[in-house]
């Protein structure tokens, strides 16, 4: 697969090579076991070129991704304020507040960045630029989650970090004093308009958080809506126009094997295949509104469309919207935000958040 195709899938600009960002595959503390985890010993992760390389000594070298940028108390273009906060020893986030905010309550979006669970960051240039633009347009508060990355921290680490962040956000509705509460959320957050969303692997996280949140969150908070932009779903059986030959050698297949080597069922684990027979079912989505965005030139497009079809057939009670863009690839709205198609998609996202 050429660099252009990798760029299209990952939603990253390959002109931003990382300067030897290297970490080590040390032994990780055992994660809580669940039916989604296999006890079978798996071989060590292999390279995922040209995205990352796993060296024989266990070091992980990330070859692609956009550079980190600091938060800004007052973005010179949009006036949006941003700051970083620590949620737990493993989890942090970047918070965003729109300009001219006085005493009004604003919708809250918990956002999960893309990057195949193994690259990119809530603090990266592409993510920061995208979220800043969305905050300025929609006039919302955003909590952009910095979750742990595979392969150093294989899944379900990112799911656990994302759930911890979602519960932390919800805890702001509780009346007891908590030094970890953030004043932006306490003063301006409208928790009756709580949204979650993400792009690519971040959309996968958002889906799984919505399933887990079906019984509610801290303080009885409920998720109003979920945004899944170009969601990263996969499975062993091709869907629609997906190629039959070499299906198990696709980037999606190999990525999942790298980031969740102990997933029970492999690519038919319900965390990556929401249509799996042993899954919790889509009728249990813990939200009342759902927006799914796909692009015709995205290799994940078929899964996004099928997801909408399966949600409609599941008996889920809620409002579902499918937004499809012609002639664009994976995460184009992040790569080329000034294009007309990107601006139209951003308006769709903002309208959904403000309904």
How is 189-244 classified by DSSP, letter by letter? Answer: EEEEEEEEEEETHHHHHHHHHHHHGGG--GGG--EEEEEEES-----SS--TT--S
Residue 13 belongs to a domain: no
**What is the pLDDT, as a whole number, of residue 81?**
99
Confidence of residue 49 (pLDDT cuts 50, 70, 90): confident
Residue 27 burial (CB count, 10 A): 6
Average pLDDT, integer, range 7-27 = 49
Q: Is residue 242 over pLDDT 70?
A: yes
Least confident of 22-31, 150-159, 306-315: 22-31
Q: Is residue 16 over pLDDT 50?
A: no
Least confident of 9-18, 44-53, 242-251, 304-313: 9-18
**What is the pLDDT, as a whole number, of residue 41?**
46
**What is the pLDDT, as a whole number, of residue 31?**
31
Q: Is residue 336 over pLDDT 90?
A: yes
144 catalytic residue (yes or no): no
**Domain limits at 222?**
68-354
Higher pLDDT, 22 or 181: 181
Q: How many helices (H) and strands (E) are present in the chain, helices listed first? A: 9, 11
Higher pLDDT, 205 or 36: 205
Handedness of CA 44, 47, 52, 58 (dihedral sign): positive
Which pLDDT tens digit goes with each residue over 112-169? 999 999 999 999 999 999 999 999 999 999 999 999 999 999 999 999 999 999 999 9
Inter-residue contact 189 to 141 (CB < 8 Å): yes
Residue 135 belongs to a domain: yes
Q: Is residue 9 over pLDDT 50?
A: no
Residue 86 belongs to a domain: yes
Question: Following DSSP, what letter does each residue of 21-73 receive, concatenated?
Answer: EEEE-PPPPPPPP-TTB--S--PPP--BTTTEEE-TTSEEEEEE-PPB----S
Average pLDDT, integer, range 325-342 = 98
**What is the pLDDT, as a whole number, of residue 175?**
75
Which pLDDT tens digit goes with each residue over 250-270? 889 999 999 999 999 999 999
Coil/strand/helix, residue 324: strand
**What is the pLDDT, as a whole number, of residue 43?**
52
Report how far residue 217's alpha carbon sits from residue 171's, in angstroms, rounded to the nearest whole number: 8
Q: Is residue 73 over pLDDT 70?
A: yes
% of the chain exceeding 90 in pLDDT = 79
Higher pLDDT, 216 or 269: 269
Average pLDDT, integer, range 217-243 = 96
Residue 15 belongs to a domain: no
Closest CA to 306 of 231, 248, 249, 246: 231
Average pLDDT, integer, range 166-176 = 90
200 catalytic residue (yes or no): yes
* Greatest CA separation for the chain: 58
Residue 17 belongs to a domain: no
Q: Is residue 281 over pLDDT 70?
A: yes
Residue 218 burial (CB count, 10 A): 15
Per the DSSP assignment, residues forming a β-bridge with 226 are 196, 290
Confidence of residue 248 (pLDDT cuts 50, 70, 90): confident
What does the DSSP 8-state code read for residue 11? T
**What is the pLDDT, as a whole number, of residue 228?**
99
Report how far residue 323's alpha carbon sits from residue 69's, in angstroms, rounded to the nearest whole number: 30
The residue from 133, 200, 229, 252 that is catalytic is 200
What is the Rg, in whole angstroms, of the alpha carbon atoms belonging to the chain? 19
Closest CA to 351 of 225, 185, 202: 225
Report how far residue 261's alpha carbon sits from residue 157's, in angstroms, rounded to the nearest whole number: 12
Report how far residue 38's alpha carbon sits from residue 43's, in angstroms, rounded to the nearest whole number: 13
Residue 21 belongs to a domain: no
Any idea what the CATH number is for the domain that residue 90 is in?
Answer: 3.40.50.1820
Residue 35 belongs to a domain: no
Report how far residue 333's alpha carbon sits from residue 339's, in angstroms, rounded to the nearest whole number: 8
Report how far residue 197's alpha carbon sits from residue 207's, in angstroms, rounded to the nearest whole number: 8
Report how far residue 293's alpha carbon sits from residue 169's, in angstroms, rounded to the nearest whole number: 25
Q: Indicate the number of domains in the chain.
A: 1
Q: What is the mean pLDDT of the chain?
A: 89
Residue 96 belongs to a domain: yes
Q: What's the residue count for the chain?
A: 355
């Amino acid at each position: 697969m050429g660099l252009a195709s990798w760029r299209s899938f990952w939603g990253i600009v390959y002109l931003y090579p990382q300067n030897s960002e290297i970490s080590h595959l040390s032994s990780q503390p055992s994660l809580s076991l669940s039916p989604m985890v296999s006890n079978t010993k798996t071989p060590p992760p292999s390279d995922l070129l040209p995205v990352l390389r796993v060296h024989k000594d266990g070091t992980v070298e990330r070859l692609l991704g956009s550079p980190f940028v600091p938060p800004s108390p007052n973005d010179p273009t949009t006036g949006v304020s941003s700051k970083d906060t620590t949620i737990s020893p493993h989890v942090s986030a970047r918070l965003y507040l729109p300009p001219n905010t006085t005493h009004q309550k604003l919708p809250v979006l918990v956002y999960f960045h893309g990057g195949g669970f193994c690259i990119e960051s809530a603090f990266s240039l592409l993510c920061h630029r995208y979220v800043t633009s969305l905050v300025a347009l929609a006039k919302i508060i955003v909590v952009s989650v910095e979750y742990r990355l595979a392969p150093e921290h294989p899944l379900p680490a990112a799911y656990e970090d994302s759930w911890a962040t979602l519960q932390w956000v919800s805890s702001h509705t509780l009346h007891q004093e908590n030094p970890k509460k953030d004043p932006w959320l306490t003063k301006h957050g409208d928790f009756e308009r709580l949204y979650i969303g993400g792009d690519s692997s971040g959309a996968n996280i958002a889906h799984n958080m919505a399933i887990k949140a079906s019984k509610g969150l801290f303080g009885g908070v409920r998720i109003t809506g979920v945004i899944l932009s170009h969601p990263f779903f996969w499975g062993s059986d091709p869907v629609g126009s997906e190629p039959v030959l070499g299906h198990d050698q696709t980037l999606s297949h190999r990525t999942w094997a790298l980031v969740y080597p102990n997933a029970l069922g492999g690519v038919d684990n319900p965390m990556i295949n929401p249509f799996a027979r042993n899954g919790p079912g889509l009728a249990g989505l813990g939200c009342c509104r759902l927006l799914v965005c796909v692009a015709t030139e995205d290799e994940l497009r078929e899964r996004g469309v099928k997801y909408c079809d399966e949600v409609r057939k599941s008996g889920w009670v809620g409002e579902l919207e499918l937004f499809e863009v012609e002639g664009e690839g994976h995460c184009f709205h992040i790569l080329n935000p000034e294009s007309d198609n990107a601006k139209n998609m951003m308006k769709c996202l903002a309208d959904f958040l403000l309904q």
